[in-house]
Amino acid sequence: MRRGAMADSALVLLGEQEMHGYELIAELESRTRGRWRPSPGTVYPTLSRLQEKGLVVGTESGDGKRKYALTDEGRAWLDRRDPAAPAPWDEVGEQGPGGEFRGAVAELGGQVRQIARFGTDEQRSAALEVLNKARSDLYKILAD
């Protein structure tokens, strides 16, 4: 991602609704189809800087989490933003050699996490067999 994309993304998303930091992370991962999942170590310092600049405000919600919202100054920033400009998360590309695999691998990873977390023992065992076969098949492709 380009420099400043996290701040721009947070401001645009917070313009849609108030969010917790982890909601921002999940939303960005969703909107990029898994190609970008910013870490908490990126998101929370960015939110702190945006607070220091007076663009967002964080308040404790009833569940003890900090929810962030735009201030009037943050809304003014959003109003000045070119409406024709792509959303910051749309700038996440599939660039470079092998870039076309990123979305597929991210999607596969999501399915594996679902099976690992919610699958039965039989489903996890079957998924592990599929993954081991896929790994073996990929090595065969490289060997040819």
Residue with the larger pLDDT of the pair 91 and 17:
17
For 9, residues 6+ apart whose C-beta sits below 8 A from its C-beta are 24, 28, 87, 88, 89
Separation between Cα atoms, residue 1 and residue 143, nearest integer Å: 33
pLDDT digits (tens, 9 = 90+) for 19-67: 999 999 999 988 887 778 888 999 999 999 999 999 999 998 777 889 9
pLDDT digits (tens, 9 = 90+) for 23-36: 999 999 888 877 78
For the chain, give every domain's residue range. Answer: 5-91, 101-143
Q: How confident is the model at residue 2, as a pLDDT?
A: 66
The CATH class given to the 5-91 domain equals mainly alpha
Q: How confident is the model at residue 96, as a pLDDT?
A: 47
pLDDT digits (tens, 9 = 90+) for 69-117: 999 999 999 999 888 888 877 765 545 445 566 667 767 777 888 898 8
